[in-house]
């Protein structure tokens, strides 16, 4: 049997993992996980908190120049 290099996780579980990474302050790893989820076709996450949903999509929105987030004046531009 060969070495496993990819894992398949349930949407609810992977979302909980992302949420806990974000809540723990591990922004870099949370961002990497969100990017991988989006690259694999994620088009939404099962979270009711709008702030968390925005944080999940933040890097994607910025990288694709859809929105820009300013940390100095708490403003979102597009």
For residue 50 the two structure tokens come to 């709008």
Please give the tally of structural domains in the chain.
1
Three-class secondary structure of residue 64 per DSSP: coil
Dihedral angle, C-alpha 19, 30, 24, 16, nearest 10 °? 20
Given the structure tokens 């991988």, which residue do they identify? Answer: 36
For residue 43 the two structure tokens come to 């088009």
Task: Decide: 27 and 55 in contact? Cβ < 8 Å.
Answer: no
In a domain, 3, yes or no: no
In a domain, 6, yes or no: no
In a domain, 1, yes or no: no
pTM for this entry:
0.81
In a domain, 19, yes or no: yes
What pLDDT, in 10s, does the model give residues 17-63?
999 999 999 999 999 999 999 999 999 999 999 989 999 999 999 99
d(CA 41, CA 30): 17
List the domain range (segments joined by +) for residue 46.
11-77
């Amino acid at each position: 049997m060969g070495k496993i290099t990819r894992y398949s996780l349930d949407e609810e579980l992977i979302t909980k993992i992302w949420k806990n990474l974000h809540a723990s302050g591990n922004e870099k790893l949370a961002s990497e996980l969100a990017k991988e989820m989006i690259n694999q076709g994620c088009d939404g996450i099962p979270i009711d908190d709008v702030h968390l949903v925005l944080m999940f999509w933040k890097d994607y929105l910025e990288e694709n120049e859809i929105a820009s987030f300013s940390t100095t004046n708490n403003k979102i531009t597009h």
